[in-house]
Amino acid sequence: MADSWQRQLRRAARSLDELRARFLPGLEITPEMREAERRFPTAVTEHYASLVERPDFSDPIFRQCVPSGEELVPAPWASRDPLAEEPCSPLPRLVRRYPDRAVLLACDACACRCRHCFRKRVSARGGPAVSDAELAAVARWLRANPRVEDVLVSGGDPLVLPDARVAAILGALRSVPTVRVVRIATRLPATLPARFTRGLVRILAAARRGGGPAVFVSAHFNHPRELAPEAAEACARLVDAGIPVQNQAVLLRGVNDDPATMEALCRALYRIRVRPYYLFQADLAEGIEHLRTPLATGLRIMARLRANLSGPAIPNFCLDPPGHAGKIELAPATVARRVRGTTEVRAGDGTPFRYPDPV
């Protein structure tokens, strides 16, 4: 296995210099980019770098993975923990913001470091993966908190871990009968699709057998170009094995913040049986001012998606605020006002309609 996923992961470029020397010879490195890299390190797989067409920040792939001088622009609201996850952590590796769901931070590492990452506090820490003792503590906590029936396994990217560790995580969750659903959040379909070997898919599919939890995979594709043939093949393997795949995209300036690009992404995902689930407004994370958009941009894009796409191809546009509020869905206003026994609503093109209350 000359080009195994482990080798590809090990051989990811971990600095601007390595990236230029090995994958992107046209890369021009400025002192500001080096400063940005000191604040949040670089990691880019060869596969992801191969999707770059122009080696500059006008390229949507390059823009997501190469440190930019614009990351140095300060913003008064930027936070290292923009979702305030730390105050909602009953255990060091668990985040609970909803009564019935919790997030397990299984590891710190990722194959590629997304410049827009909202969990840089974790991904830049470089700590060890979840241990057996920690998994036992998580299972104990879940047994004591049976209302939590949906566990999101995230990180970092949990699927950079070896098969045996992934199996151990699923085994710990399977040992708690009240855990009914496990969702695995991973960027690897886009950045390291070779990870989705038959062996891994078998482990994920087996978790459900004998009354175990339903397993979903939450992918993270932001641009249609990320849906390379290898990525589509990885998703097909999962779906063919009975593992539903859904996508959580982030709206990013200069990457996917125009209606045509987002429509193309959602259409392409839908065709390969990956359900566009969320489109997230960018969080108030550090170093991403140049990637954020005004809310109005997303609303305009959603109006276009509503008008042009099949229902299952339309994601929920959400803002994830800090604290206990939960995700806030943002939609173009369709309910205009109430007028004496009727509600005035507006179609996507603005056409008004008065829906009467029951007699």
Ligand X SMILES: *Cc1c(COP(=O)(O)O)cnc(C)c1O
Q: Is residue 113 at the binding interface for ligand X, with CB under 6 A as the rule?
A: no
Query: Does 110 qualify as catalytic in the annotation?
Result: yes
Site for ligand X in 304-323 (CB under 6 A): 320
The binding track of 66-85 with respect to ligand X, each residue x by CB under 6 A or -, is -----------------x--
Bridge-based pairing state of the strands 101-105 and 94-98: antiparallel
Query: Does 278 qualify as catalytic in the annotation?
Result: no
- Rounded Cα distance, 19 and 55, in Å: 11
Six-digit token string for 35: 């400063």
Which is nearer to ligand X, 120 or 225 (by Cβ)? 120
Which is nearer to ligand X, 47 or 97 (by Cβ)? 97
Q: Is residue 327 at the binding interface for ligand X, with CB under 6 A as the rule?
A: yes
CB of 48 to ligand X, least distance (A): 24
**Which residue is catalytic, options 107, 112, 114, 235?**
114
Which is nearer to ligand X, 121 or 327 (by Cβ)? 327
Q: Is residue 103 at the binding interface for ligand X, with CB under 6 A as the rule?
A: yes
- DSSP output for 55-121: SSTTSHHHHHHS--GGGG---TT-BSSTT--GGG-SSTTEEEEETTEEEEE--S--SS--TT-S-HH
Number of residues located near ligand X, criterion CB under 6 A: 9
Instruction: Check whether the bond before 156 is cis (ω within 30° of 0).
Output: yes
Residue with tokens 């300036």: 253
Identify which range of 92-100, 135-143, 337-345, 350-358 contacts ligand X by CB under 6 A: 92-100
Q: Is residue 141 at the binding interface for ligand X, with CB under 6 A as the rule?
A: no
- Rounded Cα distance, 304 and 297, in Å: 11
Which is nearer to ligand X, 84 or 236 (by Cβ)? 84
Identify which range of 1-9, 18-26, 69-77, 98-106 contacts ligand X by CB under 6 A: 98-106
CB of 102 to ligand X, least distance (A): 6
**Which residue is catalytic, options 63, 93, 115, 119?**
119
In contact, 40 and 115? CB cutoff 8 Å:
yes
Site for ligand X in 204-263 (CB under 6 A): none
Query: Does 98 qualify as catalytic in the annotation?
Result: yes
For residue 322, give the 3-state DSSP assignment. Answer: coil
Query: Does 114 qualify as catalytic in the annotation?
Result: yes
Which is nearer to ligand X, 152 or 166 (by Cβ)? 152
What is the sign, positive or negative, of the torsion defined by CA atoms of 252, 332, 187, 87? positive
Six-digit token string for 229: 């043939």
What is the sign, positive or negative, of the torsion defined by CA atoms of 113, 187, 121, 284? positive
Query: Does 112 qualify as catalytic in the annotation?
Result: no
Query: Does 117 qualify as catalytic in the annotation?
Result: yes
Q: Is residue 170 at the binding interface for ligand X, with CB under 6 A as the rule?
A: no
Give the one residue of 94, 152, 207, 227 binding ligand X; rule: CB under 6 A: 152
Query: Does 88 qualify as catalytic in the annotation?
Result: no
What is the sign, positive or negative, of the torsion defined by CA atoms of 103, 107, 110, 116? positive
Q: Is residue 180 at the binding interface for ligand X, with CB under 6 A as the rule?
A: no
- Rounded Cα distance, 119 and 98, in Å: 19
For residue 287, which of 40, 62, 112, 108 has the smallest C-alpha distance?
40
**Residues lying near ligand X in the complex (CB under 6 A):** 83, 95, 97-98, 101, 103, 152, 320, 327
Active site residues: 97-98, 101, 110, 114, 117, 119, 283, 320, 327
